[in-house]
Amino acid sequence: MTNPLYDALFAPLSGQDRGFLHLPDGRVITAAMFHDHAARSANALRAAGLRPGDRVAVQASKSPEMLALYAGAVAAGLVFLPLNTAYTPDELAYFLSDCGPGLLLVDPDRAPICAPLAARHGTQLETLGSGGSFDALAAAQSADLAPAPRAGDDLAALLYTSGTTGRPKGAMLTQENLLSNARALVDAWRFTRDDVLLHALPIFHTHGLFVATNTVALAGASMLFHPRFDLDQIIAALPRASVMMGVPTFYTRLLHDSRLDRDLAAHMRLFISGSAPLLADTHRDWQARTGHAILERYGMTETNMLTSNPYEGARRAGTVGQPLPGVDLRIAAPDTGTPLAPGETGMIEVRGASVFKGYWQMPEKTAEEFRADGFFMTGDLGRIDDEGYVHISGRAKDLVISGGYNIYPKEVELLLDEMPGVLESAVIGVPHPDFGEAVLAVLAPTGAGPDIAAIRAAIADRLARYKQPKAYVTLPELPRNTMGKVQKAALRKDYAQYFAGAGA
């Protein structure tokens, strides 16, 4: 029996002297060096007593050691659980309690905080990076590796969702989920061994870990591996790269720098954006400055990547492209699952090899999220146009129902984003004594800032009255999570009492 994910992604690195990870300090980790490190990590995990199917959790800074730990966990047949470095001890305690990892790895400076938590939950604790205890354990192991036999349906990773509508849920991702998606992306984005990916994403998230790393490894390509997005470092690195994957914030920050021009991007063949919606203005401004059209795609923790704008063909601003090969995608009525006609807005539902196995220890929740015919309800609202491009209207939980009318925030936001003085907007529904919910527009300014009276006048004839914001709030910037997604749940909480006592 083989280990499909290890065999496809990491076994080919063995013995290769080509550069695999190029670090900002000039160090180069060859493919062979990385494989040896991964093999020693796998053997260290075994020496720590972990067996196939056990969970290994890591809350540590991005580093080559953490990436090798992921590869080692795959080789050892373990379930890899990367955790956001921003999680507090209380949040960490929930994950330890929920999935019972056999081992927790943290940065050395976090060990004093995490040791009592690990002890309380019966989890071994080791430190990773900067001469950590696990590094020493791995260094003492052999680089000879016998990968653990695994099947495509065996778990490879457990990623927790954000939990904005309840306690976080652990999405169970199998070897086949990850491998099938990597194969689809290599093909869709034309990756080859000649590519050099500029990697400045975190690796506790599906974007930086699976979309980026798995695709590069499968293609035999290499990475400029940066610990974080540092504007000066990214600009210096661009001439050495051929592809960049980023969140929209990466592109807006680069656009604000005068050094970004066509010459700087001349060596690049592809810019990819995901994890949060890309403003149409950013798409257009980027193409005007660099000559490149950003390729926007769409996916979820539970599903891996689902759609992509085409490599060859029109990359349409404001859309996330067409379904990837092997992905069945439909728009359905949220309450019944009845498929809707092109152009109609409804729930985005998907089925395919990349769609997760279910939620960890939540069989009832898993059953609730799947239709009887196997389609997963993403929770995103959208439509498909007559050329097959998917347009996302927003999360179903963000739908505003005011006076009995459904309002899709994206429709209003697209209009507000066009207004002078508005950098971007977030439209939310908040309680209203007469309408149930009312539309509140939260604006981030640019230049001299927005003229609210002028905006009201400009949209009066372009939106039905019930869709028009009842009020406007201006903030210096919209609240976002680490992957750049606007946190509408936080805005709804902050402004829950905004219309208290208001009349019609």
Pairwise pLDDT comparison (495 vs 411), residue with the higher score: 495
Q: What residues have CB less than 8 Å from 493, skipping those under 6 apart? A: none
Answer yes or no: do 305 and 434 share one domain: no
Q: What is the dihedral of CA 201, 203, 206, 208, to 10 degrees?
A: 30
pLDDT for position 502 = 62
Answer yes or no: do 136 and 245 share one domain: no
Distance between CA 355 and CA 306 in Å, rounded? 9
Answer yes or no: do 328 and 389 share one domain: yes
pLDDT at 37 over 60: yes
- Best CA proximity match to 38, nearest among 4, 9, 2, 1: 9
Residue 186 lies in a domain: no
Question: Phi/psi class of residue 394: alpha, beta or left (left: φ > 0; alpha: ψ in -120 to 50)?
Answer: left
Residue 480: give its domain's CATH number. 3.30.300.30
Answer yes or no: do 328 and 454 share one domain: no
Among residues 395, 421, 456, the one where a domain terminates is 395
| 39-43, 382-386, 399-403, 423-427: the lowest-pLDDT one | 399-403
Answer yes or no: do 275 and 416 share one domain: no
- Give the model confidence (pLDDT) of 65-75 as tens digits: 999 999 999 99
* Mean pLDDT over each residue of the chain, to the nearest integer: 94
Answer yes or no: do 275 and 383 share one domain: yes
| 42-51, 124-133, 482-491: the lowest-pLDDT one | 482-491
Residue 206 lies in a domain: no
Compute CA 433 distance to the chain's CA centroid, rounded to the nearest angstrom: 37
- What is the sign of the dihedral through the CA atoms of 478, 494, 491 and 98? positive
Answer yes or no: do 409 and 443 share one domain: yes
| 99-103, 208-212, 255-259, 395-399: the lowest-pLDDT one | 395-399
Residue 72 lies in a domain: yes
| 232-241, 427-436, 469-478: the lowest-pLDDT one | 427-436
Return the structure tokens found at 377: 């309800």
Burial class (CB in 10 A: 0-12, 13-18, 19+), 90: exposed
pLDDT for position 481 = 86
Residue 219 lies in a domain: no
pLDDT (mean) for 47-72:
98
pLDDT at 164 over 60: no
Residue 293: give its domain's CATH number. 3.40.50.12780
Return the structure tokens found at 353: 């090899």
pLDDT for position 504 = 43
Return the structure tokens found at 198: 């500029």
pLDDT for position 125 = 98
- Give the model confidence (pLDDT) of 263-276 as tens digits: 999 999 999 999 88
- Best CA proximity match to 230, nearest among 207, 206, 252, 253: 253
Write out the E strands in 53-169.
55-59, 79-82, 103-106, 124-127, 155-160
Answer yes or no: do 289 and 239 share one domain: yes
pLDDT (mean) for 354-379:
96
pLDDT for position 174 = 98
Answer yes or no: do 368 and 414 share one domain: no
DSSP 3-state of 296: strand
Residue 457: give the domain boundaries. Answer: 399-494
**H-type helices in 214-300, by residue range?**
215-219, 231-237, 248-255, 280-290
What DSSP letter does each residue of 325-379 carry, written as one string? Answer: TTEEEEEE-TTT--B--TT--EEEEEEETTS--EETT-HHHHHHHB-TTS-EEEE
Distance between CA 479 and CA 214 in Å, rounded? 30
Q: How many domains does the chain have?
A: 3
Residues 186 and 42: beta-carbon distance below 8 Å: no
Residues 482 and 202: beta-carbon distance below 8 Å: yes
Burial class (CB in 10 A: 0-12, 13-18, 19+), 120: exposed
- Best CA proximity match to 68, nearest among 123, 95, 105, 117: 105
Among residues 157, 189, 213, the one where a domain terminates is 157
pLDDT at 165 over 60: no
Q: Residue 132: what residue type?
A: G
Burial class (CB in 10 A: 0-12, 13-18, 19+), 340: middle
β-strand partners of 443: 425, 474
Answer yes or no: do 328 and 374 share one domain: yes
Residues 273 and 295: beta-carbon distance below 8 Å: yes
Answer yes or no: do 22 and 113 share one domain: yes
Residue 163 lies in a domain: no
Return the structure tokens found at 451: 């003229």
Among residues 378, 395, 412, the one where a domain terminates is 395
